[in-house]
Amino acid sequence: MLSAEELERYARHIVLHDVGGPGQAALNRARVLAIGAGGLGAPVLLYLAAAGIGTLGVIDDDVVTLSNLQRQVIHETPDLGMPKVESAAATIRRLNPHVAVAPHATRLVAGNVLDLIGRYDIIADGSDNFATRYLVADACYFAKKPLVTAALGAFDATLTTIRAHERGADGKPNPTYRCLFPEPPPPGTVPACAEAGVLGALAGVIGSMMALEIIREIVGFGEGLVGRLLMIDARSMRFETLRYQWDPSNPLSGVKPTIADLSGHG
């Protein structure tokens, strides 16, 4: 039951035909875990908090540095040196005191990932490295959790939704992350953000779209991004969508799977 204050706070959602009172109530019941409180995690957390997600978890083992502030808008200059999860939690509480925040100041590894994601309804992966992306995607498959995952380059970004534990309308399994990207690139072939740079506002765009996709998944309206990869080119301001499907030879959910657990992740 929404209070009078919450009804006013979420009024612009409630008057939307595709959201309404039931949709807002679903948002208020939802539990979302953000992987990372950086360039993508910052706008995800801000917009999900504003939308009234009931519980927001955030996992990150880093601290706020000056070079973060060009794009990680959930943190401020006085937060320098503070753990990112604590800075993010403080901002969320100021923005919307109705949202419960669960900070996890730790590194996500094979030993803790299933326990952590098991506490949440949907996972938002805004991590900045391939090892974590594959770990999270594999773990969400085993834990039967929906995953909204995005990646950010210097002037480009991608976004998709993974529901690999479910089947599509055609009866075929939904694609896994490994159906889209079978293997991570060799180490050192993709430069890190500190080397290649990143356009700060682009992180805001794709992070906000992650939040939008999560809201759509929770409320249940529109066509989701399962089996579709949204690609953004900020140089030409071009948005394109690539369709992909289940690969019977993928090692996770294929005809002859070779990945049975998370032991292959360091």
Q: Are the C-beta atoms of residues 209 and 230 closer than 8 Å to each other?
A: yes
Between helix 200-219 and helix 20-29 the angle, nearest 10°, is 110
Distances (CA, A) of 258 to 40, 100, 116, 117, 186: 32, 39, 24, 23, 20
* Residue 232 β-bridge partners: 157, 239
List 2, 109, 131, 193, catalytic entry:
193
Task: Pull the structure tokens for residue 99.
Answer: 């949202």
Q: What angle do CA 195, 201, 203 make, to 5 degrees?
A: 65
Task: Pull the structure tokens for residue 189.
Answer: 């072939």
Q: Is 193 a catalytic residue?
A: yes
Residues classed as catalytic: 193
